Amino acid sequence: MAEKQMDSKEVGLGEAPTVEAGEAIDAEEVKYGHTKRGLTSRHVQLMAIGGSIGTGLFVGIGGALSEGGPLSILLAFIIYPILFVIPTTICVGELSTFLPMRRGIFEMANRFVDPAFGFAFGYAYFYAAAVLVCTEASAVVSVMGYWGIPVNGAVWVLMAMVIIIAINVFAVKYYGEAEFIFSILKVLLVVGLALLTFITMVGGNPKHDAYGFRNWKHGNAMHEYYTTGTTGRFLGWFVAMRYAAFSLGGPDMIALAAGEIENPRKTIPRMARLIWVRVAGFYLLGVLAVGIICNSRDPRLLSALATGSTGSAASPFVIGIKNLGIKGLDSLVNFVILTSGWSCGNAYFYTSTRTLYQLSVDGQAPKFLRKCTKKGVPIYAVIVVALISCLTFMVASNSSATVFSWFVGLSTCATLITYSMMMIVWVGFYKSLEAQGISRDTLPWKAPFMPYHAYIGIATGITLILFLGFDYFVPWNTQGFITTYFGVPYVVVLFGVWKIIKRTKHAKWSEVNIYEGKEQIDKECEYWETIAANADVEKRQSAFKRTWGKMWDSAVV
């Protein structure tokens, strides 16, 4: 296709250009428009954290704490990132640094594995992201219920969706700023609750009770689940691993935002190297604190879980705070939990719209879905996701806690499947390099611990998927089985249908065109990688923005 690259001199002042400085476009992008590179390193770092720290850490973790115990959830949140989240992140980081395309990781799946695999992968991720939007919107209903305002839950769904949609219809840089603010609030809450736990555990509370690790004693560290003895404690830990699989994310933010990140070959490796440290760090801080401040067998916690209590009433943090006689914090915590629901819903709304856009660019979704506004927003994809999100209105006729549990089951399996598929795409890329005698040392960024960490990650993902619903077989639970395993036949059917209809073939690694699209990306990256361009960007910023940006970069590098 014909390509054109524009520099800053070609973009008229005061206009709403369809092509930004440094961008290379083809004829199809001229016709339909395209997404813009408007996300800075600061935006994307917090986006990945924001998409990971959700209502689960503050409220939903109570179920895992009561079933597994504090040591079980701590071990789960250490082991799960090492075996699964880290390899997924660095695989995606290497792929997205090499080819930070608007067509995204789904096109790489078509190229390095099989077009049928790419089709199934794309729609599996779209399903996962769309369900997670509904999950967080239903969580907003639960959180608002804490204040006991006498209105139907559908009102809170509408409120949440209006805010999320409004943020996503503007230029991507405004979405980035909104996510940045939301994420800062959540990080401050995690750090604040951890500090509160430390202060109170050494006696800094109204009761002057230096309780320390009392809640870990007398057999409470690891609970027996489903059966007794060592096997029961192992299954208690596995339940905590299952919850970690729902809670911990982040790699998908890199994959889906790669085509909209400024200076991608500098920003993406930074994300891949450090994001797992921050996500795991914040979560480890949170799960350690929650197991200290709240007894896993606390009657209030067990009662809240049994009755489906809403908002922070079911939060082990709030229960622990109330037990210590501290007043006035519950509403504040509930408000920040509310923003975390908005933030996660916002992040997954963004990734689901970009998934539809990328599938459309690859010819695996209707072409109208690639139509973008002048600001680079795939507007019809936004409308489609907004309509699908209306499923959350089921809270109008069902308990918000029940609907939330449905969405958790549906999204956990889908997330495990799509993250595993991301690593399989990397394996296809690795095999293509190997078959063509190309050293990974020639890549813009080379992921560490490969290929073995990818193989470990794939094996971990498959194992978790197989045993995800082990406790739904005896006694048999039809609803639990369907919501837990629906993602598996869904992906198999997608793969089979596309394979049969399109008669696709598995990639021949010795013949794959590894460098397709790289020339266009290189042209775009030249703009960001020149000292003159960087100096020009800095000149256009105010002194406050320059100082803030440098402070942020020094904090994350």
CATH of the domain at 278: 1.20.1740.10
3-state DSSP call for residue 4? strand
pLDDT value of position 18: 47
* CA–CA dist 484, 4 (Å, integer): 47
> Does residue 338 or residue 462 have the better pLDDT?
462
Average pLDDT for 8-37: 53
pLDDT tens, position by position, 188-199 = 888 898 999 999
Residue 310: pLDDT band with limits 50, 70, 90: low
For residues 415 and 529, state if they share a domain.
no
Q: Choose among 507, 452, 439, 344: nearest CA to 90.
A: 452
Range name among 238-247, 303-312, 359-368 with the lowest pLDDT average? 303-312
Range of the domain at 367: 34-516
For residues 489 and 525, state if they share a domain.
no
For residues 544 and 434, state if they share a domain.
no
pLDDT value of position 29: 63
In a domain, 279, yes or no: yes
pLDDT tens, position by position, 38-49 = 777 777 777 666
pLDDT tens, position by position, 317-333 = 888 988 888 887 878 88
Range name among 91-100, 306-315, 384-393 with the lowest pLDDT average? 306-315
pLDDT value of position 539: 55
What CA dihedral angle connects 158, 160, 162 and 168, to 10 degrees?
Answer: -150
For residue 161, which amino acid is it? M
The DSSP bridge partners found for residue 4 are 25
For residues 508 and 522, state if they share a domain.
no
- Residue 448 contacts residue 89 (beta carbons within 8 Å): no
Query: Can you say how many angstroms the Cα of residue 159 is from the centroid of all Cα atoms in its chain?
Result: 22
- Left (φ > 0), alpha (ψ -120 to 50) or beta: where does 517 sit? left
* CA–CA dist 423, 83 (Å, integer): 12
pLDDT value of position 5: 45
In a domain, 8, yes or no: no
Give the chain's domain count: 2
In a domain, 27, yes or no: no
* CA–CA dist 315, 93 (Å, integer): 34
pLDDT value of position 328: 78
Residue 103 has which token pair?
């067509």
For residues 508 and 361, state if they share a domain.
yes
Average pLDDT for 385-397: 80
pLDDT tens, position by position, 95-136 = 999 998 877 899 999 999 999 999 999 999 999 988 888 888
For residues 445 and 380, state if they share a domain.
yes
Range name among 79-88, 260-269, 410-419, 473-482 with the lowest pLDDT average? 260-269
In a domain, 532, yes or no: yes
pLDDT value of position 108: 93
In a domain, 25, yes or no: no
* CA–CA dist 470, 227 (Å, integer): 12
Residue 8: pLDDT band with limits 50, 70, 90: very low
Burial of 446: CB neighbours in 10 Å, binned 0-12, 13-18, 19+ = middle
For residues 306 and 215, state if they share a domain.
yes
Concatenating the DSSP letter of every residue in 343-410 gives HHHHHHHHHHHHHHHHHHHTTSS-GGGG---TTS--HHHHHHHHHHGGGGGGGGTS-HHHHHHHHHHH
pLDDT value of position 554: 44
- Left (φ > 0), alpha (ψ -120 to 50) or beta: where does 413 sit? alpha
For residues 312 and 227, state if they share a domain.
yes
Range name among 3-17, 332-346, 402-416 with the lowest pLDDT average? 3-17
Residue 7 has which token pair?
């520099």
Residue 176: pLDDT band with limits 50, 70, 90: confident
pLDDT value of position 467: 95
For residues 494 and 538, state if they share a domain.
no
* CA–CA dist 6, 23 (Å, integer): 6
- Residue 143 contacts residue 307 (beta carbons within 8 Å): no
Q: Global pTM? A: 0.87
For residues 71 and 40, state if they share a domain.
yes
For residues 276 and 181, state if they share a domain.
yes
* CA–CA dist 134, 264 (Å, integer): 30
pLDDT value of position 177: 84
- Highest average pLDDT, of 95-99, 148-152, 158-162, 322-326, comes from 95-99
For residues 508 and 524, state if they share a domain.
no
In a domain, 292, yes or no: yes
pLDDT value of position 296: 92
pLDDT value of position 10: 36
3-state DSSP call for residue 26? strand
